[in-house]
Amino acid sequence: MSHRGLFYGWVVVAASATVIAVAMGALFSLGVFLKPIEDGMGWSRSEISIVALLNWLAMGLGSFVWGALSDRVGGRAVTVAGGFLLGLGLVLSSQVTVLAWFYVTFGVMVGFAVGAFYAPLSATASRWFTSRRGLALGVVSAGIGLGTFVIAPLARGLTNAWGWRGAMLALGDLAWLVVIPVALLIKNAPAEMGAVALGGAAAARREYTTAEVVRAPQFWAIALTHLACCAAHSGPIFHMVTYAIEQGVAAMVAATVFGVSGLASIAGRIGCGILADRFGAKRTLLAGLALQAVTILSYRFIGDAAAFYVAAVVFGVAYGGVMPLYALVTREYFGERIMGTAYGGVFLVSTLGMGLGSWAGGYVYDTLGTYAWLYLGSAAVGGMSVVLALTFRSPRPHAAASAAPVAAG
């Protein structure tokens, strides 16, 4: 169905990307608030950093729970509920005076709320597209890069004006004012509007149950590849600014390098989505994972600002570009009906990689006094993700699988 010539699926995509931008930007704003909270509350950085670990754990669990729920009630209802919880978590966080409550409000509530968006909305958007699905999911994923690029400076400006409490309160209000109304634009499937997916109805696939999904070898192949991919890039991303400064790059330049990487990730997400539509999700994923591993290794051998800028662009394209592809391969294998559950489960596993990779970078540095082994180890894990991705199988059509479980393709 079109409105003034516009296929409504693109409205769903734009609304999904906007919601994800606000939510992920608010989540990553913790890094902006770290020093002001440390100065104002007297809590140590390690104590506050536990919140980030709780964020990833809660977001991973939330992705699975909200994803399964979205299969039953739809992405719109899940997004409205998640938007309400996100705003509440941020508002309550702005008022805390005890560290334990900050763990609950920002660590658990905000993290769990953010889980309501990326995996469920990727599943919802995928239902609107048979052709150009890679581009659609790339745009949805680009909301993550856009959010970190826009919301982090906004949080800094608000903090300068009103302090960290006022800034966090404002972000909570922003979540309510943007996420909930925009969520109402989301339609769960083309059938709600008497339409069909762009490119026509998808080919019939075997219909899985939740139990069959988690027992399927293909689910674990995708999930463990995603975990290794995230474990490979999370440490280099989290420690990028500090590493550049230690290599002699000026602090402001190092921060700019980080921003350039985030911007490049937007181009990577959309560009790899387009490439996946043309060459296939698996081929594009393998190329992106290989590029990511090589670029991570290159960080071990660079030391000047120009080289950091070049590496940041390539690294951003690589780590951003592979992210929407996991939703594509999950959709291709498990189909539309249980996409929220399947991709939510994949994303849950991947968040362990994000948390472990970020933590391992700090542990390696504290233990060995250098980031060298972080980049060597991350490159090795990145290479492992390429090997794991080679095990992906192609699903067979419903007709070939109606009488028996899906066989290896």
pLDDT digits (tens, 9 = 90+) for 181-221: 999 999 988 888 778 877 666 655 667 887 888 899 999 99
Direct distance between the N- and C-terminal alpha carbons of the chain, in angstroms, rounded to an integer: 35
What are residue 5's phi and psi, to 5 degrees? Answer: 85, -5
The pLDDT of residue 126 is 87
Q: How many CB atoms lie within 10 A of CB 81?
A: 17
Show contacts of 239-243: CB within 8 Å, 24+ apart: 239/358, 239/361, 239/362, 239/365, 239/371, 239/374, 240/312, 242/371, 243/299, 243/371
Give per-residue pLDDT as tens, 14-25. 999 999 999 998
Q: What pLDDT, on the 0 to 100 scale, is given for residue 405?
A: 40
Helices within 247-371 (DSSP H only): 251-279, 281-298, 305-334, 339-368
Domains by residue range for the chain, with CATH: 1-190 (1.20.1250.20), 205-396+405-409 (1.20.1250.20)
Question: CA 34 to CA 31: how far, in whole Å?
Answer: 5
Residue-level pLDDT at 199: 67
Return d(Cα 169, Cα 282) in angstroms, integer: 42
CA proximity to 21, closest of 228, 204, 174, 237: 174
**Predicted pLDDT of residue 234:** 86
C-alpha angle with apex 247: 384 to 152, nearest 5 degrees?
75
Q: What is the pLDDT of residue 31?
A: 75
Q: How many CB atoms lie within 10 A of CB 65?
A: 18
Distance from C-alpha of 236 to C-alpha of 265, rounded to nearest angstrom: 14
What is the model's pLDDT at position 221? Answer: 94
Determine the pLDDT at residue 130.
85
pLDDT value at residue 258? 79
The pLDDT value given to residue 200: 64
Per-residue pLDDT tens, the chain, 409 aa: give them. 544 568 899 999 999 999 999 999 899 888 778 788 888 999 887 788 788 888 888 998 999 999 889 888 989 999 999 999 999 999 999 999 999 999 999 999 999 999 999 989 998 998 898 888 889 999 999 998 888 778 878 888 898 899 999 999 999 999 999 999 999 999 988 888 778 877 666 655 667 887 888 899 999 999 999 999 999 998 888 788 778 888 888 877 877 787 788 889 999 999 999 999 999 889 999 999 999 999 999 999 998 899 999 999 999 999 999 998 998 899 888 887 888 889 889 989 998 888 788 778 777 887 888 888 989 999 999 999 999 999 988 765 544 344 434 333 3
User: What pTM was computed for the model?
Assistant: 0.81
> What pLDDT is stored for residue 37 in this prediction?
87
